[in-house]
Amino acid sequence: MDLTIENVLLIGSLLLLVSVVIGKTSYKFGVPTLLLFLVIGMLAGSDGIGGIHFNNPEIAQFIGIVSLSFILFAGGLETDWTTVKPILREGLVLSTIGVLLTALTLGVFVWFVTDFTIYESMLLGSIVSSTDAAAVFSILRSKSLALKVNLRPTLELESGSNDPMAYVLTIAFLTLVINQDQSIVSIIPLFFQQMILGGIAGFVFGKLSKVMINNIKLDFEGLYFVLVIALMFITFSATDFVGGNGFLAIYICAVYLGNQEFIHKKTIFKMYDGLAWLMQIVLFLTLGLLVYPSQVFPYMGIGLLISLFLIIVARPISVFLSLMFFKMRLRRRFYISWVGLRGAVPIVFATYPLLAGIDKANTIFNIVFFISVTSVLIQGTTLSIVAKWLNVVLPEKAKRITEVDKLILDLPKSSLKEFVISPDSYAVNKRIVNLNFPKSAFIIMIKRREEYLRPGGSTEIEPKDILMVLADHPEDFVKVNDCLYTQRDATKS
């Protein structure tokens, strides 16, 4: 089946619906949601049961750039400067020197085990050198991991800011592959130009965006969200036009904006949060459609070898060398090494060699695809296990509400009430999801001893917990009382 204007909306909406429904229950079985989106795209593609023919790297690259822009901007908005500031140096070193070391280490290995030239090997290493923001953000947040000693901000800062470095390296080594007569020294000015102009443009456009949002008077609240989208793409395009790194610019712009006060900030945060998820789904579905599993299978052996070297050797070497001058526990370094998730971004970058038409473009694309899938599958499914094994995770009782959580948690409920759980209450030792809470009320926070917990469906209620419940109407609290204490047939209410 070929994608046409007439059927693209139907097919696209059906794929989105299937992705959301299946993704909702994926973590019950320990499967990363993003990987499921990718698999659904593959199943719908030419080699799958859907038979949808999609073989256009140019469109896939365009969708990837747009999606990545939203994902990076949303991640930047949610970056709390007060949390990031203590680990800023570590995060920046990992996102620059760490990416470079990963690219070089893996490139040398690829050169030894394949028939690639040194520049082709370095190109492959550069494409998979950065951790994927979409994968790290979604997996860490969906698993609600509470990590010790600023570990989570370090990981999110690194993943959100290291794509620009990988992009520069990819373009630089692709240039060397195409122009074999050029020296590697010739790409150094390109690197500094991209990073310096990108950083300056991001800060300038951040300040400019704040002024414009606060001073342009719009008649409808929803138009402010549209205004921010326009400013985001102007930041990317204008920076790219003058030779800077657009990805770096929009990330810095978003970090600046997210830590300033501007009109309808809460609404824009919530809308970007949902839109970032949409872009992640669209991105992974598109890349799933683009790949042909029958073409990937022949590269499984070499792909697995390169992927394991990246996970076990290249990533740890880059992390330990990058952080050698910082005071940090060994177990923390090991965990940062393990959270080197590769997701959709390397696959997007792998479309650049395809469009450039170099000899080994298809081989590079298929190997990169296999590396991304194995990384999400191996590392993404074991983040919680490795965190507990290395003892870098906080106990459930120590999870705290972040400033971003407080900002997003601005819900139109009219009343708030506390419920103290006695030892003989029905709710003791039961998960929230099993309490049959009325739809018109929900728990926004749990106070357990001296700590405040962010509740989830799997959170178990303990004796002496204090539950803070929001409800639409005061009479809803009677139903809540039944669920917590007597469990009279609350499902009928």
Q: In this structure, are residues 447 and 462 in contact, taking their beta carbons and an 8 Å threshold? A: no
318 and 378 co-located in one domain: yes
176 and 48 co-located in one domain: yes
| pLDDT computed for residue 459 by the predictor | 83
Q: What is the pTM assigned to this prediction?
A: 0.73
485 and 384 co-located in one domain: no
79 and 210 co-located in one domain: yes
368 and 432 co-located in one domain: no
345 and 436 co-located in one domain: no
Q: Could you give the CA distance from residue 42 to residue 49 in angstroms, rounded to a whole number?
A: 9
Where among 354, 389, 424 does a domain terminate? 389
Low-confidence residues of the chain, pLDDT below 50?
A: 27-30, 396-409, 411-414, 488-493
Distance (Å) of CA 318 to CA 310, 335, 370: 10, 13, 21
Domain count of the chain? 2
Q: In this structure, are residues 279 and 67 in contact, taking their beta carbons and an 8 Å threshold? A: yes
At 458, list the tokens: 């799997």
183 and 238 co-located in one domain: yes
Where among 327, 356, 389 does a domain terminate? 389
Give the Cβ contact number of residue 51 at 10 Å: 11
Q: Could you give the CA distance from residue 198 to residue 201 in angstroms, rounded to a whole number?
A: 5
| pLDDT computed for residue 40 by the predictor | 78
Q: What CATH number is given to the structural domain containing 183?
A: 1.20.1530.20
329 and 478 co-located in one domain: no
| 371 belongs to a structural domain | yes
| 396 belongs to a structural domain | no
Q: What pLDDT digit, counting tens, does each position of 438-452 carry?
A: 877 878 888 887 777
Angle (CA) 451 455 460, round 5°: 90
Q: What pLDDT digit, counting tens, does each position of 372-420 carry?
A: 888 888 887 787 788 888 888 765 444 444 444 444 445 444 467 788 8
256 and 335 co-located in one domain: yes
| 397 belongs to a structural domain | no
Please give the DSSP secondary-structure letter assigned to residue 460: B
| 452 belongs to a structural domain | yes
Sign of CA dihedral 466, 471, 474, 480: negative
Domain that holds residue 31: 5-389
| pLDDT computed for residue 395 by the predictor | 56
449 and 304 co-located in one domain: no
Q: What CATH number is given to the structural domain containing 466?
A: 3.30.70.1450
Q: In this structure, are residues 129 and 63 in contact, taking their beta carbons and an 8 Å threshold? A: no
Q: What DSSP element (H or E) covers 386?
A: helix 383-389
At 430, list the tokens: 């039961």
| 132 belongs to a structural domain | yes
| 401 belongs to a structural domain | no
| 400 belongs to a structural domain | no
Q: What pLDDT digit, counting tens, does each position of 295-326 carry?
A: 888 888 999 999 999 999 999 999 999 999 88
339 and 468 co-located in one domain: no
| 26 belongs to a structural domain | yes
26 and 148 co-located in one domain: yes
Q: Could you give the CA distance from residue 344 to residue 287 in angstroms, rounded to a whole number?
A: 8
- In the block, tokens 């949601």 appear at 33
